[in-house]
Structures are given as structure tokens and as C-alpha cells.
Amino acid sequence: MRPRRPGRRGGRAGRAARPDRRAGQQRRQPGDRVRRRPARRAGPLARRLRAQRADRRAAHRVRPRPAHPRLRPGHHRLLDRRPARAGSYGAAKASLHAWNHFLAAQLGPSGITANIVAPGTVAGTEFFGPRLDEAEVARRSARTLLGRIGESGEVAAAVCFLASAEAGFITGEILHCNGGELLGR
């Protein structure tokens, strides 16, 4: 083991003994927080950073007006009158779209395709339940380019096509089987 040289870290040789604290002050404990003031920098970059920091502080002090007309003042939640499951359904559907793109990228080199069929309003299903009365069917039919709602056999034919060998070069797609209601949105 080498002997320590004077003036190196850890060694006391060559240094004058100095008091721990000024007279009358308590010694700092290990958990105490030390408040340090950063050194003031000069130059255009430092001035710009100080200005940005000041802008951020000022932005936190000002209470902005609600960004959305249905936000109550002082609240951050939308006043939504729709059923609670509509939001979770949309979020789940959006995550499936992102997952489909991930699967297509992962499975594509192996020759496996990954696609989604997104049907519009389909007659004879229980998806809408009692909400799909004659007036709602007429309203939804008017929104499509074909002027009618879909049949379950038409959606099944789209699924069969995507599973067939003829669709071997189609992957990562979302096939909207909705009669032109959403036009690929």
C-alpha cells in the first residue's frame, strides 16, 4: 500500500486544521438540505436560459382560462354527458390500431400478416343493444355513402379475404368496412 502524499484527497498532512463551523452555529446533520445558489453565468446562451426559466415561473403563476368550453372553471375534467363506456371503447380501439402496426412489423419478416377489420353499423348484432331503434338505423344509414347499414355476412367476407392467400401482401392495415361512413379516418 502506498503512503499518502500531503495535499491529496483523504490525507490531512500538509493542511491547516480548520474549524467545522463558525462559533455559535450548529453542526449540519447528514439529512439536512443544503441550499446552494448556482454560479451566475454570462453570455447569450445563459441570458436566454434565464429568460426561459423566468417565463416558466410566470406561466405557473397565471391561471389560464379553460381550454375547452365544457371545462368548468377550476377543474380539469370535461363535462361529458355520454355513457362512460364510450371513452374506454375508443381508447381500446386506438390501442388495437397501434398494436396492429407493432405486430405487422414484428411478424412481417416471418411472412405473417396482421390486419384489423373495423366494421361500421351492422344489422343483427347486439353491439348497440336497445339504442339501435328504427330512428337510429335511419340516421346511421343516411351517414353512409351507400345509404344503408351493413350486414354481418359482408364483414365476414372482408375477414375471409384478409385471411386468404390473395391478401398475402396486405399487412398492418385497418380495413374500414362501413359503407363509406368514415372514409378511412
Distance of alpha carbon 106 from alpha carbon 99, whole angstroms: 10
Q: How far apart are CA 162 and CA 171, in angstroms?
A: 9
**Category of 16 on φ-ψ map: left (φ > 0), alpha (ψ -120 to 50) or beta:** beta
Known active-site residue 89: yes
Nearest-angstrom CA–CA distance, 84 and 80:
9
Determine which one of 80, 86, 89, 92 is catalytic: 89
Q: How far apart are the C-alpha atoms of 81 and 73, rounded to whole Å?
A: 18
How far is Cα 70 from Cα 74, in angstroms, rounded to an integer?
A: 12
Q: How far apart are CA 120 and CA 161, in angstroms?
A: 18
* Residues recognised as catalytic: 89
